[in-house]
Amino acid sequence: MFLVQEYVQGLSLRQEIYPGQPWPQDQVVQFLLSTLRPLAIVHENRTIHRDIKPDNLMRRLKDQQIMLIDFGAVKEFTSTVIAGSTKIIGSPGYMAREQAIGKPCFASDIYSLGMVAIEALTGCFIGQLHTDPHTDRVLWLEELTRPIDRRLYEILEKMTAPKASDRYAHGVDALQVVYKLANAGSLLTDCDPSNPQQTPKVIASAITWVQKAQKMTNYLQQIPQGNPEGNSPNPCPNLQSPIPSSYAIYPH
């Protein structure tokens, strides 16, 4: 397999994503749209990028389009990859857990791109975000300073699901859903992190691990000492809102 890479003159997104300066949600949607297009082509050619991060996303000066660069880590999706005998390549924080054990797949790229989008939307570096100890999900909604569209929340949650099987399986699948959202009209603000009644149930219950530990402590204190029948509460379920991926219009 031979790769021909275009010379791109521009600046990486690392120079645009600043802590404390979150992007508007419509800008994040356009970012996903512009990056999923080339990623879908990469996946259609049976290859995995394996190192999607802000440093490898460049805004081209001549037209301001975001380009996916640095295909030095690209891997052809073969039985070798499936068997897990591939070298571990990627960047901490953006790397899906199956990729971290040498078993990357198309959904690994989806995870990485979703994490970049979350970083831009929250204005928080990846290392600043907490993870739910029960579900391994990144708790990012609580970092938002403004409400967002519930559909965008669901897309990002699916992109960054801990299990590869729970994510979009292919760049084309994610592109179809984001394209549908981008063409559905103005984005809503029906997912408010400051109002638990308006947030999805998974987030309303997904408080930080410190709060979870406190609730667990309070529960255990209510169990009589020496009671062998006392049962620990069940862990928080890994709730998800299914997102249809049957949208049949492809952007050109």
- Class of residue 5 by CB neighbours under 10 A (exposed 0-12, middle 13-18, buried 19+): exposed
Per the CB < 8 A criterion, the answer to whether 108 and 43 are in contact is no
CA–CA distance, 244 with 184 (Å, rounded to integer): 14
Per the CB < 8 A criterion, the answer to whether 46 and 3 are in contact is no
* Torsion angle of C-alpha atoms 46, 243, 175, 159, degrees rounded to 10: -70
**Shortest CA distance to 121 belongs to which of 171, 90, 159?**
159
Question: Catalytic residue numbers?
Answer: 51
Q: Where are the beta strands (DSSP E) in 109-168?
A: 130-131, 138-139
Sequence-distant (≥ 6) Cβ neighbours of residue 243 within 8 angstroms: 154, 155, 158, 177
